A and B are shown apart, each in its own frame.
Chain A
């Protein structure tokens, strides 16, 4: 019974020892170099980088977290394999063997360190006492060619196989493998493992009740254990010796070993306690750090939010400012336009007022002249001075005519401005129209002894609105008569032309006008001016009306004049061609 118990203890101790040494070698070896290289190669994968750093630092929890992240993100098969490997090892270290197995089984066959996976699986199954399975894994590894190329010791594999056989009670095989392992370890001078090997060999013999063979190995192991620092090994070796001495009934010696065993056990416990405290402190420190990190993260978040808010609000302000400036400028521009329009309107209104005053003045003087003339007429009638009557009546009629013309122009002007006139251009026989207008002025011209000549070509047809054309000719003719002295001459004729226009010339032998006056008259917005002719105050309305109407008919006005010689007013009108 005791033997069995001792044996079990020995194996357990041996295991922890064996796995521990294996890990140390792992991380420092070939794999680390390759992992580092991979992390360099896949720089952009932050999670992998972190995972491998934590892995190398044996920080298993963090490794698990980051490798999980990497698995969920990464597309690269190789990286995923690495991550599974990290997770497998991490779980194994945390004694979660089933999880560990699962992860390791996820790894694809192409994985560079696939043999390591096998090794780990073997170790796990061994730890779970599934010796048959473990044996399979280890034998697979042993069969690998050139085992020495790999970064683990063949001796360990041999040793593990031996252990499997030992547990399966195949002592012969066990003996063979254990010795092979021990021999290799002796060559490699790996004391720690060698002690384990010796102990296991001793156990092997002891289990077979070959005490004589066993005891020397126990002693060898014990002697070697004195040279190493591991309390666990020292403790196991001492315990084994104690059990051996007890069985040999050498109780004092057994007691000594027991005491030594207790001593090592205490030391181990102390060490464990120290470790545990250190672990606690470490955890505490980590927590503290984590808290700090959290605080910093929160601060960062707040800062980012603040910065974003600031940026957003500043952009908003800028836009607001921009639109403000835009509308302000728009407003200024509008104001300018409005101001300009106002000025123009003011000017126009002033012109209108002036026109108003001149027209009323004109009318007033006309009516006043009529009034005085009429009273004279009555006087003459009473005195029966009939000879005067005729001239006075003619005079009256002339005044009334002038007033009528003025009013007519005023009406036409108003209608034109308000666009109320009926306007319809058609083919007109120019000579006839001129005759119609001239007809009204014949008596006046005869009265003033003005010779009149109408030489308008009877073949000329113009394209114009009849009423407006009559108004134009009437005004020009009226002006011509007004500015022509008695016994003067007025002629109306058409000039020959090749273009599409008809040139109607109204020529008088009147006052004529200066170039500046001509220019003034032809200006589009000529202001009303007092005429040079002293006693005739004109409004200039007639001329304005003529120009507007000529333009409306698609024609234009030209003036040829020489002071004190005469004036030619030329009305240029569109010809009408398609007459039948």
Chain B
């Protein structure tokens, strides 16, 4: 499990300090603090960023919105972002609203509100709303990462690192090569969002990462994975073997 990388675009040190304090306290990783539009762009494109916190006004100009508009133009490079503002200026809101996904936070805000705003930004960005506030689930799935809510903060797990997933009722045990943890997500949803070329169900309760398979013992109904994890292969899902070229 990794921390979330946050880029802060904020020109007032007092504000950014407070933000950094709150976010680091909640296990967020601050990649950088950009006081200007240009620095923001540099930092944004040179680092692996998960979420951006943008102050609408930089040095009195609405450069924050401009930044959002800029990253909006390049579709693949786009990341979830949150606008911070103390102004209730309708015009700025209308302009910022056009840069979707869109999450707003009015200053002054407390710890809960900024964390909530970040979660909302991630949710909305990946089109899986009302995940983090609900009690049934706590994970948003993107192409590369699982974003998991742990206590008050957000964590991420690279999907490629997952060896297999074991489903138990409403929970899923995620087993990577180095750790094991439980997330709240339904089987249907996880299957819907995972790439079928990379993951495959081997049993009613197991989903395996195809690239982590070491050996398939058909007779014993077993799949041996990296790290010597063994997973049951049920008759119903045996067809998945056909995905592999079988040497005879």
Partner-B contacts on A (CB < 8 A): 415, 420-422, 424, 427, 429, 431-432, 435-436, 439-440, 458, 461, 466-467, 579-580
B106 with A467: CB separation less than 8 A: yes
Residue B113, interface by CB 8 Å: yes
Residues from chain A with Cβ under 8 Å of B130 in the complex: 427, 429, 461, 579-580
**B 71-107 contacts with A by CB, 8 A:** 88-90, 93-94, 97, 104, 106
In this complex, the interface size class of chain B, counting residues with CB under 8 Å from chain A, is 10 to 19
Residues of A within 8 A of B112 (CB): 435-436, 439
From 120 to 144 in chain B, residues with beta carbon under 8 angstroms from any chain A beta carbon are 129-130, 133-135
Q: Which residues of A contact B46 (CB under 8 A)?
A: none
| B111 CB within 8 Å of chain A | yes
Task: Give the contacting residue for A436; candidates B88, B89, B116; CB below 8 A.
Answer: B116
Contact indicator A580/B88 (Cβ below 8 Å): no
Neighbouring A residues of B97 by C-beta, 8 Å: 424
Q: Which residues of A contact B42 (CB under 8 A)?
A: none
Asked whether B219 is an interface residue with its Cβ less than 8 Å from the other chain, the reply is no
CB proximity of A401 to chain B, nearest CB, Å: 11
CB distance A439 to B110 under 8 Å? Answer: yes
Q: How far is the CA of A580 from the CA of B137 in the complex (A)?
A: 12
A-B contact pairs, 15 of them (CB 8 A): A420-B89, A421-B88, A424-B97, A427-B130, A429-B133, A429-B134, A432-B116, A432-B133, A435-B112, A436-B113, A439-B112, A461-B130, A466-B104, A467-B106, A579-B130
Cross-interface CB contact of A420 among B90, B106, B110, B135, cutoff 8 Å:
B90
Q: Are A422 and B93 in contact (CB under 8 A)?
A: yes
Are A458 and B88 in touch, CB under 8 angstroms?
no
Within the assembled complex, what's the spacing in Å between the Cα atoms of A435 and B111? 11
Contacts of B90 in A (CB 8 A): 420-422
Q: Give the Cβ gap from B97 to chain A, nearest Cβ, in Å.
A: 8
Residues of B within 8 A of A432 (CB): 116, 133
* C-alpha gap A415/B89 in the complex (Å): 9
CA distance A436 to B110 in the complex (A): 7
> What's the least CB distance linking A303 to chain B, in Å?
77
> What is the CA–CA distance of A424 and B96 in the complex, to the nearest angstrom?
13
B133 and A458 form a contact (CB under 8 A): yes
Among A421, A422, A432, the one with the most B-chain Cβ atoms within 10 Å of its Cβ is A422
A439 to B111, CA, bound (A): 9
Specify the chain B residue showing the minimal Cβ separation from A471: B106
A435 to B113, CA, bound (A): 9
Number of A-B contacts (CB under 8 A): 41
Least Cβ–Cβ distance between A475 and chain B, in angstroms? 16
Complex CA–CA separation, A461 to B111 (angstroms) = 22
Q: Which residues of B contact A466 (CB under 8 A)?
A: 104
Which residues of chain A come closer than 8 Å to B89, judged between CB atoms?
420, 422
Expressed in whole angstroms, the Cα–Cα distance for A422 and B89 within the complex equals 7
Most buried by A among B89, B110, B129, B133: B133
Q: A429-B133, A458-B133, A580-B129 are in contact. Are A440 and B110 (CB under 8 A)?
A: yes
A436, A466, A467: most-surrounded residue (chain B CB, <10 A): A436
A520 nearest CB across to chain B (Å): 30
Once the chains are docked, how many angstroms separate the CA of A415 from the CA of B112? 26
Q: How far is the CB of B9 from chain A (nearest CB, A)?
A: 21
A12 to B88, CA, bound (A): 129
Residues of B near A435 (CB, < 8 A) are: 112
A3 CB to nearest B CB, Å: 136
- CB contacts (< 8 Å) of A429 on chain B: these are 130, 133-134
Beta-carbon nearest neighbor of A435 in chain B: B112
- Contact yes or no, B134 A458, CB < 8 A: yes
- Interchain CA distance A415-B93 in the complex, whole Å: 14
User: Of all chain A residues, which has the CB nearest B85?
Assistant: A422
Shortest CB-to-CB span from B192 to chain A, Å, is 12
Q: What residues of chain B lie closer than 8 Å to A427, measured between beta carbons?
A: 129-130
Closest CB of chain B to A439's CB: distance in Å? 5
Which 5 interchain pairs have the tightest Cβ spacing?
A: A422-B93, A429-B133, A439-B112, A436-B112, A439-B110
Cα A436 to Cα B106 with chains together (Å): 12
Question: Which chain A residues lie closer than 8 Å to B135 at the CB level?
Answer: 458
A487 to B112, CA, bound (A): 26
Q: Is the CB of B88 within 8 A of A431?
A: no
By beta carbon, the residue of chain B nearest A440 is B110
Answer whether A415 and B88 are a contact pair too, CB < 8 Å, given A436-B113, A436-B116, A440-B110.
yes
A413 to B90, CA, bound (A): 15
Question: Residue of B at shortest CB range from A411?
Answer: B88
Give Cα A579 to B129, complex, Å.
8
List B contacts of A422 (CB < 8 A).
88-90, 93-94
Which of B93, B111, B133 meets A431, CB within 8 Å?
Answer: B133
A420 / chain B contacts, CB cutoff of 8 Å: 88-90
Other contacts beyond A415-B88, A579-B130: 16, CB < 8 A: A420-B89, A422-B88, A422-B89, A424-B97, A432-B116, A435-B112, A436-B113, A436-B116, A439-B110, A439-B111, A439-B113, A458-B134, A461-B130, A466-B104, A467-B106, A580-B130
A429 and B104 alpha carbons, distance in the complex (Å): 15
Within 8 A of A (CB), among B37-89: 88-89
| Contact residues in A for B113 (Cβ distance below 8 Å) | 436, 439
A435 CA to B88 CA, complexed, in Å: 23
Smallest distance from the beta carbon of A85 to chain B beta carbons, Å?
Answer: 100
| A579, B131: Cα distance in complex, Å | 11
A253 to B111, CA, bound (A): 170
Chain A residues closer than 8 Å to B111, beta-carbon distance: 439
Q: Which residue of A has the minimal Cβ distance to B111?
A: A439
A219 to B34: give the CA distance in the assembly, Å: 163
Min CB distance A427 to B, Å, is 7
Q: Give CA–CA (A439, B110) in the complex, Å.
A: 8
Tell me, rounded to whole Å, the shortest Cβ–Cβ distance linking A341 to chain B.
Answer: 28
Which of chain B's residues have a CB closer than 8 A to the CB of A431?
Answer: 133
